[in-house]
Amino acid sequence: INISVFPPSNACIGRYILNMQITSCGHTYQRCLGDFYVLFNPWCADDPVYMDNQAHREEYVLNEHGILYEGVHKHITSRPWHFGQFEDGILDICLKILDMGASYHHGSDRDRCWRNDPVHVSMVVNHMISSHTTNSIMKIPENNDYLKGTKPFSWNGSVPVLQQWYNGRCRPVRYGYCGSLASVMCTVMRCLGIPSRVVTNYCFPCSIENPLGINEIFDCTGKNLCGKDKLWRYHCWNESWMARRDINQCCGDWQCLDPTPLETGRGSACSGPTWVRSIREGELDLDYDGHHMFSRVNSNYVGWLSQNNTKKPKFFCNAWPCGQQLITKSVGSEQFEDITGAYKYELGSVKNKEAYYRAYRRIHPGYCNASNCHIERELSSLKNPFLSDSGINMKLKMANCPMYGEDVQLHWLLENLHSENKNLKFNLCAQIITYSGCPMDQFWKDTVNVTLGPREVKKIPLCISYSQYGPYLCDHNIMKVVAVSDPECGEVLMVSRDIVINRPPVIVKLLSQPRLKVPCTAEISFCNPLQEDMKNCIMTLEGCGLFKEPMTIDLGTLASNQQARTIVEFTPYRLGSHRLLANFGCHKF
C-alpha cells in the first residue's frame, strides 16, 4: 500500500507520527508506520512564507554557506559562516527550541495552533536565541569578559553552537556576539522553511535616554569617555520573509528580527518582527518595536567635549549619520548587496524628511501637533556644527591598509577656507574601540601646532607603530584616531577615523579532488608576521559535509616569520557544494 500525505498550507510545523488502525476478525489494533516532519514551504503559493523567485529560494533557504560582514563602514571586512541547516540532527534541535520557548507568548504549549504562523514562530525563535532567562541558546559576555567560555569571534558556524546547547541540557553557550546570534537564528529559520538572511548595519546607535539621539563625550586629549550611550561600529540582525496576516499583508516581504538583547530603558530585550518597509516610511504604530528599529537607522549623532564636571560644549565636526550603510550577502554571489534604501530614503530627500517627521511625532508625543518647521528647528539645535562653519576643513585618510604587525600610516588633511592665517594647536590620540562602541585603552598621544595660510591646504603624515598599538589590540581589531583642537585656542574642532587592523590570512590548499566517501587531503598554512612569538596557537577546521564536528589542531608557539603547515585528512559524507573553513587563534587574537 502506498500512502501519500498532503498537509494543508496552514498545518502546524513539527514532527508527526503516522499510525494505522487495523480491524480484523473483530480485533482492532494500532501500528506505527513511521514519522515525518512538516515545515513551512516557500515553494507553495498558499504558504505565508511563499517566495516566488527561485534564485532567492536557493539563496535564502537552501544555501548553507553565508558571509558575515564586519569592520567599519569605510573598511568593510567579511568572513565565511556555515549555517548547516541540513546537517544531521539540526531539525530536531530547531524543534526543541520551539518546545523550550513555547511559553514565551502562550503560557503553555497544549494548544500548538500558533506553530502554523511564521510571525509567532519567529518571535519564539528570536526570544530563545539570547533573551530567555535560563535556556537561551547563547550568552553575550558582560563587560567583554569571556574567560569562562569560548571567544565570541572564534565560531565559524551555527552547527557546533546548536549541538553544544542541545547536548548541554539546553544551557546557554558561552559566548557569542551579534553576528553569531543573528547567524544561528538564520540557521534555525532556514531549517524550519522560512527564508532568512543576516544584515549588517554600520554606525549603530544604542541609546537609553534619547531614542533618536546618540551622545559621545571626549576629553581635551581626544579620548572617548565611557558614557551611557554607545555607537556600535556595526551590528548584525536577521531578516525573514513572510506575509504578515497580523498587519493585513497579502504578499510576503522582509521582516526585521534582532535577537541581540539591547537596553531599551525598560530592560534589555530582543526586537521584532518589524516590517522593513514600515521603518522606511516611519509608520511606527503599525508593528512590533517599530520605534526601536527606526531609531537604530535614523538617530542623530551629537559629540561633546568634557572640559570639567559642568561644562560640556559641542565641537565642530562632520558627523556620520547613524545607519550609514546596511548590507547583506548578494544572491548567488560572494559580494555584498547594499540594502540601505529598503530601510531609509536618500538622506535629505523630501520622502526621508517626511518619514522622519512622522516617526518623531510618534516617538515624542509632545510634538504630536508640531509643524515640520518646529521639529526641524529642534533637530538643528541638537546637532554639532559642521567643520566648514568654523572656516576649517579636516580629514583623516588612510595611507595603507595595515595588517597585524604593520605600522598604521595616515594623512591628516587640513584646509583653511578663509583669507586670513589660522594658528591652531591640536591634541592627537588613538585608543582601542570594541565593535560595540566601548572605549578601551588610550595608547598613543601627541600634540601638533598647525599654521595655515589663507586658503592653504596642508597634508600632515601620521604614523602609529605596531609596537605602540600591538600590546593593546587583543581581540578588538578596531582603533579610533582623533585630532581635537585645544579649547584655549577658541572654537573646538574635531576629526576622527576608525581603523581596522586586518588579521593575517590562513591559506587552504586542496591536495586531492574531493569525492563522496573517499578520503581527501588539504594543506593548511599560516605565517606569523610579527616580530615576536605567537603563543598558544590553535587552528580550528570546520566544514558542513566534510567534518562531523570541528577539528582543533594545537600548533604551540610560532616564532617570528615562522610558517606553520599542517596536512589534514577528511572524508566528504554528503553530496553538494562544501566549504572548508580554517580559523586561527593565539594569545594575541
Q: Which residues are catalytic?
A: 178, 235, 258
Measured in whole angstroms, how far is the alpha carbon of residue 236 from the centre of its chain? 2
**CA-to-CA distance for 283 and 291, rounded, in angstroms?**
9
Which strand (E) or helix (H) includes residue 124?
A: helix 118-130
Contact partners, residue 125, CB within 8 Å, separation at least 6: 97, 98, 101, 185, 188, 189, 192, 259
In sequence order, what are the beta bridge partners of 382? Answer: none
* DSSP-derived 3-state class of residue 403: strand
Three-state secondary-structure class, residue 439: strand
Closest CA to 192 of 245, 250, 120: 120
Residue 423 CB coordination number (10 Å): 9
Instruction: Describe the crossing of helices 350-363 and 290-298 by its angle, rounded to 10 degrees.
Output: 130
What the block records as the C-alpha cell of 171 is 544551557
- Asked if residues 129 and 184 have their Cβ atoms less than 8 Å apart, the reply is yes
Q: Would you put residue 455 in left (φ > 0), alpha (ψ -120 to 50) or beta?
A: left
Side chain identity at 34, as an amino acid letter? Answer: G
Q: Secondary structure of 142-206 in the HEC alphabet?
A: HHHCCCCCCCHHHCCECHHHHHHHHHCCCCCEECCCHHHHHHHHHHHHHHCCCCEEEEEEEEEEE
Q: What end-to-end distance do the CA atoms of the chain give, in Å?
A: 61
Alpha carbon separation from 270 to 3, 204, 438 (Å, rounded): 43, 15, 20
d(CA 423, CA 302): 26
Q: How far is CA 230 from CA 38, 178, 215, in A?
A: 43, 15, 8
323-351: b or e for each residue (b if 16 or more CB lie within 10 Å)? bbbbbbbeeeeeebeebbebbbbeeeeee
Closest CA to 583 of 475, 501, 498, 511: 475
Query: Which residues does residue 461 pair with via DSSP β-bridges, in sequence order?
Result: 411
Residue with the three cell numbers 563587560: 143
